[in-house]
Amino acid sequence: MRLPPAVVLAGVARTLEEDVLPAVGDRAARGLVFAALEVLANVQDLVEWRVDVREEELTAAAAALTESAERLQASGLGAEAARLRAALAAAEHLDDRAARGRALDAALEDALVVLDRARAEPGVEAALASIRAHLVNQTIRDLMRTQRPLLNRISQG
């Protein structure tokens, strides 16, 4: 479940403009904030997620949905399993990676809704575990890819 880079960068720009800029009194520092805003505006539509990273995410999402559907089927919840399989099949027929990603994200959201509605049924917890594991692993992968914080530089002002 990933926001497009343009949305992330637009959010950063909005935060700079609405929250940071009003707190900056020095003209030179304000000029730097405006320069950063211009850079963000110019690059936000040029940036994409790395292909290898996004493919890894899409493969993992599809595997989680497949496993969840199999567990639902094994638990006798064929209609729920069919719904997940249909969403997965629709996503996998898309050639455009961004569209496939959006479809898989929607399928994961739908899986969470389906599983929540059927949560009292036996075997649903095992099906939900597949989706949870995917989301946890995705978060861990995201954290492992982040840069080390600049806390020492931030604390020095």
Contact call for residues 115 and 56 (beta carbons, < 8 A): no
Residues of the chain with pLDDT under 70: 1, 49-53, 150-155, 157
What is the reported pLDDT for 47? 76
Looking at every residue in the chain, the average pLDDT score rounds to 87
Residues near 62 by beta carbon (within 8 Å), at least 6 away in sequence: 88, 91, 92, 104
Domain boundaries, the chain: 5-48, 51-145
What is the reported pLDDT for 96? 86
What is the reported pLDDT for 97? 84
What does pTM read for this prediction?
A: 0.70
Task: Please count the CA atoms within 13 angstroms of the CA of 64 that sit on its side-chain side.
Answer: 26
Is the torsion defined by CA of 31, 32, 37, 41 positive or negative? positive
3-state helix, strand, coil in the chain (%, to 5): 80, 0, 20
What is the reported pLDDT for 81? 94
What is the reported pLDDT for 1? 57
What is the reported pLDDT for 141? 84
